[in-house]
Each structure stands twice: as C-alpha cells, then as structure tokens.
Structure 1
C-alpha cells in the first residue's frame, strides 16, 4: 500500500512540476514576443515632478553639526 501511495505522489508531483515549468517557459516566451512587438517609447529626460528652472525647492539639512545645533536650542 505504501508503495502505491508513493508512486501516486511522485506522479502528481511530476505533473505539477512539469506544469509549473511549462507555464514559466510560456510566460517568458510571451513577454519576449510582446517586447519585440511594442513600439519604443519616447522617454523625456526630465522627470515630470522635477522642479522647473528658477523654482525653489525645500532642502533639509541632516548633517551632524546642524542637528546638534537644533538639539542645543530646544529648552
């Protein structure tokens, strides 16, 4: 009985492992095909959230000296 259960287990294990490998291979193949079919995107060199020329940005100084000054000032 144990030999039969071990054989059934191995058959199902091989089927699941084979199916997982086939699915992974097909996904990789499809992603490569879709990349070759897709038109190249035009990429802008400037990030859309980047500050424009002359625009002020918030700057936080976390240097050790500055933090020590802040902690010494607090009562």
Structure 2
C-alpha cells in the first residue's frame, strides 16, 4: 500500500519510482473508491514530478563531466542535491 504521508521531496529516484509504480498498479486495479483514487492520482503526479526533477539533475551532472584530451573523463563539477 502507498504511504501518502511520506514526503516526496525527500525521496530518492528509486524510492519515488517504486512508489509511483505502486500507485499506478492500485489505480489500474480499479477497486479503489473515488476519493482515494483522486488522492492516489495526485500522489502519482507528485512522484512523477520528483522522478523527472531527479533525472534532469542527473542529466545536468553528466553534461558537466569534462573530458581530457584523450577522451577520458578528467573530472566532474559537483552538483548539490543528488
């Protein structure tokens, strides 16, 4: 069952994705009352946004990797939040 009390903004990508999948599965079953379905949908939207934000941050970090003359990674620029 989904823990709707847990702060989405504190979740890792893996945690948010796992809970998002649980929300989708609950909604797909169709045996959830309307009010709970709406709450689950809202939770799912927040989880989706969290995953998208973390993916964007990771993508930006990868783009900041500098390459040495021989094409190997020479270092990274640290990015807070991941």
Structure-1-length-normalised TM-score: 0.45
Whichever structure has more strand as a proportion of its residues is: 2
Question: Which structure has more RCO (C-alpha within 8 Å, separation ≥ 6)?
Answer: 2
